Structure formats: C-alpha cells, structure tokens
Amino acid sequence: MIRPSYAVKLARTKLHSKCGMLFASTIVASLLFAALIAIIIVFTGAEKSAEMFIKKVGNDRYLVKASPNIPNKALGITNNLSLEEIRELKAFEKKYYQNLQDKYKSLGLAYDKSTEAPALLPASWMPDSLPEEQRVTVNFSSPVISDFNDQQFEKYAKTANNKLTNLKEIGSKYDAAGYYIVDKISGLPQIPALRLIQNDKEDFGNSNPKADDMTTYGYYTNAIYNSNYTFTDQQLLRRYMLATDASRLNGIPVVVSVQEAVSLFGKKLNLEAEPADTNQKSTWLKNVQEKLN
C-alpha cells in the first residue's frame, strides 16, 4: 500500500502536470449542472404558472362534459342474434300482430294476414352448424322491429345507471357543483345560419359553406359564412364574457380571423393580402389591426 505522504505528493504532481485539463473539466461539469438546474427551475415555474392560470380562468374549477354511455344493444337489434333473442323477438311479433288484429276487430274491419311483414326471414347462407331456428336474418323493414327496439330501449332506460342522479353521485366525490344541459332543445323555431350584411344588404342566396382550401383552416378563415347559432346556458358563458351589458350593442359581436377580415374589408380599407414571408406577417398584422380599429 502507498503511504499517505506519497499519495499527497502524487496528487500534487498530477495537479501541477494536468492543471489545465482539471480546470476545463471542472468548468464543463459546472456548466452542465447549472444548465440542468436552470431547466428544472424554468419547467417548474411554467407548470405552476399554467396551474394558476387554469384556476383563475375557471374560478378554481374546470368544465367537464359528460354523455350517457348507451350500449349498442339498447339502441336496436342487429343480425347477430342469439337463440334466446330470436325467441324473444318471435314472442313479441306474435303479440304485436295479435294486438293489431284485435284493433281491426274492434273497429269492424277485415284483417288481411297476408299484409303482415315478418320480423325474421330465412337465411340460407348461414352455416348448417347453427340450429334451423337460428338461421334467420332480421327484416328491418318490418314494423315489428321498430316497436321491438322501442320496447328494448324503454326497458334499458328504467334500469340504466347513467342518469343525472348517477352523475351527481360521481361528481360529489370531486366536489363538483353546477350541472347544465348542453345543446338542449329549444322551444324557439330553427334559426338560420349567420348572414353577412354589407352596405345595408343581406344576401340570402350566399348560404353555402366556404373553405378556400377545403381544410379546417379554410373553414375557420371563413367563419362568418360557416357559423350558426346555438343555445348555451348563461352560467357557462359568464366566465368568458368580458362585457355583459348588451344595451349598447347594435348587433351580435363575433370574432373573425384576420384572413377573413382582409377578404371582407380589404378593398374598402385598402388592406394588403397576407404575405408569404413570415418576417413580414407581424408588420402586416399590425397594419390590419390599425385600419380595422
């Protein structure tokens, strides 16, 4: 083993002979460590800023949209029926036509059995491995199918656990508050899509959706022609509306893209088209804003 005094001498010798390399290694390691610390601080700050922004915008809450999960089986039968389902449908069909005959009889009318449309039709293409009773296909043109689907949905709705009360039970675990129906049916008649009025004239013939390049971007840059009205609960909109006093409004305020503003008012205000050069877009946007305001 080397003596401690020799170890100290060896360390001093290496320090003097490789001083530059040691200094460079120390600087590089320090810079890398400092960069790592800086990245952690920046991302931590960004995360906290995002959380604070979300809390302030949503009044320390966030919106959640829920839709009932309805199984396909409850929406209507398909051709993939089990033997039990086939027998259930046959029993319903027998009862359906018996009730129909009773109605005819009560009205003193003659009932023609040949007009009945069977709910199930033979399917010769099905494999012989299936029972003969199961080698059938659903006749969707039969009125029996429509009534049978309605009955199945009613049975499902009575026992479904996706009602508002069930949603509130789940929401109570997360301190949820405020439940609103979105896209609810209104008693008002259907309102037409938006129309642009220029020079005190409204063009009802110009009603087709527009998209310059047939993409989502194209539809957004033609928002006036592609927009329509919708009804939303006032409580949901309140947090996003800066001004709630509508007494001074002369119309419905809308937000349009700068591209659409140029296409609509470019000739009148002498606005230039959007430049292709990215460096020029900032100046172009500022010029459009000044002339429009």
Same domain as 32, residue 115: no
Task: Give the pLDDT band of residue 161 (cuts 50, 70, 90).
Answer: confident
Dist CA 27 CA 33 (whole Å): 10
Whole-Å CA distances, 44 to 28, 33, 37, 61, 159: 24, 17, 11, 21, 48
pLDDT at 172 over 60: yes
CB of 136 closer than 8 Å to CB of 123: yes
In the predicted model, what is the mean pLDDT of residues 144-158? 91
Between 214 and 282, the more confident residue is 282
Same domain as 15, residue 47: yes
Mean pLDDT is lowest, of 32-46, 66-80, 89-103, 149-163, for 66-80
In-domain check, residue 249: yes
Same domain as 201, residue 156: no
Residue 208: its pLDDT value, please?
A: 65
Q: Identify the burial level of 197 via C-beta atoms within 10 angstroms of its C-beta, where 0-12 means exposed, 13-18 middle and 19 or more buried.
A: exposed
In-domain check, residue 89: yes
In the predicted model, what is the mean pLDDT of residues 249-267? 78
Same domain as 84, residue 45: no
In-domain check, residue 192: no
Q: What is the dihedral of CA 118, 124, 129, 130, to 10 degrees?
A: -10
Residue 6: its pLDDT value, please?
A: 67
CB of 260 closer than 8 Å to CB of 224: yes
Dist CA 123 CA 138 (whole Å): 9
Same domain as 201, residue 141: no
In the predicted model, what is the mean pLDDT of residues 275-291? 86
Same domain as 204, residue 288: yes
Which residues are CB-neighbours of 109 under 8 A, at least 6 positions away? none
For the chain, what is the domain count?
3
Partners of 201 in the β-ladder: 198
In-domain check, residue 63: no
In-domain check, residue 129: yes
Q: Which residues of 134-168 are buried (b: 16+ CB within 10 A; e: fewer)?
A: ebbebeeebebbebbeeebbeeeeeeeeeeeeebe
Single out the residue of 95, 93, 90, 98 nearest to residue 136, CA to CA. Answer: 90
Residue 142: its pLDDT value, please?
A: 92
Helix or strand holding residue 258 (H, E): helix 258-269
In-domain check, residue 191: no
Same domain as 288, residue 228: yes
Same domain as 78, residue 147: yes
Helix or strand holding residue 136 (H, E): strand 136-138
Same domain as 283, residue 257: yes
Same domain as 126, residue 102: yes
pLDDT at 190 over 60: no
In-domain check, residue 189: no
One DSSP character per residue, 178-210 reads ----TT---SSPPPPPP--EETTEE-TT--S--
In-domain check, residue 66: no
Same domain as 217, residue 161: no
Structural domain including 15 reads: 4-57
* pLDDT tens, position by position, 19-33: 667 677 778 888 888
Dist CA 266 CA 260 (whole Å): 9
Same domain as 274, residue 208: yes
| Boundary-marking domain end, from 165, 182, 208 | 165
In the predicted model, what is the mean pLDDT of residues 166-185? 82
What share of the chain in percent tops pLDDT 70? 78
Whole-Å CA distances, 230 to 185, 234, 242, 260: 10, 12, 19, 22
* pLDDT tens, position by position, 37-78: 989 998 888 888 877 776 666 666 677 888 888 888 888 888
Residue 213: its pLDDT value, please?
A: 64
pLDDT at 204 over 80: no
Residue 264: its pLDDT value, please?
A: 81
In the predicted model, what is the mean pLDDT of residues 157-173? 87
* Average pLDDT score, the chain: 80
CB of 91 closer than 8 Å to CB of 151: no
